[in-house]
Amino acid sequence: MGNKVTPIQERTYAQTKHGRTHYILEGDLQNPNAQLVVCVHGIGASTHAYESIAQEIVQKGGFKVLRYDLYSRGYSDPVHLPHVGDLFVEQLYELLVHLDLFDHKFLLIGHSMGGAVATLFTNKYPDMVGKLVLLTPAGLPWDLPFGSFLLGIPILGWIIFLLVTRFILTMEESIGENFFDIKHPHSETSIKIQLDLRTKGGMSNYTNYMTNSVSNFPLTGCTKEATCIGKQKRPTLIVWGQYDTTTPSDICFPQWYNLFKGNDGCNFVVVKDVRHNFFNEEIELSNKLISSWIRGEEHKNTKLIQHGNKNASQVILNERDVNIKRFWDENEHLFGSFMI
């Protein structure tokens, strides 16, 4: 019996409280037993971030996958209200209501700021989330880059962000330094997508929503909610990139581990030699990891190691990376079994 996959409907919108939300819903849409997987992207991304993962899940059948653009990102409408956590939590809830998908438990995936949105959503609507996947999530304390507090100052913050992202660093340098190993064979395509996102609506729009979110969203302020869901017996997968400096692996991963280690249903994985957007670098490995876990198939690290980290890049270590490497070397006895 073959799996019928419904084609993507491009630029489909739902009217939510603060504007239109662009979404892509694909997979076994006619199958009432197909489990829903919802993907929440990061602070500067869009539905494109999950393109490869979504296709991996959809092609094997048995699931429907919902990707959508957070307010002010991608093709969703801009929102000039403060970008607080509840703004994005309620956007997702309203989207699920609009699509009549809110009455069954679903699997929620969140990356970076999207991981914090997923954390806040799960805490507020715990009965809706059956399984949780957090990819280098924001939400727990770490030191944001020096001067981040200045972004909350009207006009000055906007100017500072624009100067740094457009004139002090090239866009490619800014993206590569923080999100990818710029020399990785898969990074060229990923960086191009990021550049297109930043230029599509103009640098002014990009600067507006980034400064708004950095100033108002609890990027480091979800400890209470994460602590609460960490105690719940919900199957959870937490994945980090070894050289992530955006949500720093040496600072953030141990905190999430400590909150969730008591949950027997939680699995932890650290992908070697990658940065923040690891699943757009080590595509094949990441797809296999996430898809197999979602399906309840064998996803133990030994099996994934046999699969092989074929595209592993040798990251050129900067000073921050050296400190991160020292952390992983010194804590191999605690976390070494999570590395792939």
41, 73 contact by CB (below 8 A): yes
pLDDT of residue 36: 96
| Mean of pLDDT over the chain | 81
Residue 6 has pLDDT above 60, yes or no: no
Question: Is the pLDDT score of 176 beyond 80?
Answer: no
pLDDT value of position 5: 44
pLDDT given for residue 90 in this prediction: 98
The pLDDT of residue 33: 86
Q: Which residue has the higher pLDDT, 173 or 89?
A: 89
Phi, psi of 331 (to 5 degrees): -110, 20
Higher pLDDT, 44 or 20: 20
Across the range 286-312, mean pLDDT stands at 69
Task: Give 23-43 pLDDT, tens digit per residue.
Answer: 999 999 988 889 999 999 999
The residues, ordered by sequence, that sit 6+ positions from 209 with a Cβ below 8 Å of its Cβ are 72, 73, 78, 83
At 110, list the tokens. Answer: 């969140």
Of 47-51, 65-69, 94-98, 172-176, least confident by mean pLDDT is 172-176
Query: pLDDT value at position 301?
Result: 55
Q: How confident is the model at residue 132 (pLDDT cuts 50, 70, 90)?
A: very high
Percent with pLDDT over 70 in the chain? 74
Look at 1 and 65; give whichever has higher pLDDT: 65
Per-residue pLDDT at 152 exceeds 90: no
Closest CA to 55 of 68, 47, 69, 65: 65
Q: What is the pLDDT of residue 173?
A: 43
| pTM, full prediction | 0.84
Q: Which two tokens stand for residue 108?
A: 């929620």
Strands 236-241 and 106-111: unpaired
CA 256 to chain centre: 15
- Given a cut of 60, is residue 68 above it in pLDDT? yes
For domain 12-143+220-338, which CATH number applies: 3.40.50.1820, 2.60.40.10, 3.30.2310.20, 3.20.20.10? 3.40.50.1820
Neighbours of 160 (CB within 10 A): 18
**What average pLDDT score do residues 159-173 get?**
45
Which of the residue ranges 17-26, 111-120, 164-173, 314-323 would you say has the lowest mean pLDDT?
164-173
pLDDT higher at 337 or 299: 337
The residue to which tokens 């209200």 are assigned: 81
Q: Are 132 and 232 in contact (CB under 8 A)?
A: no
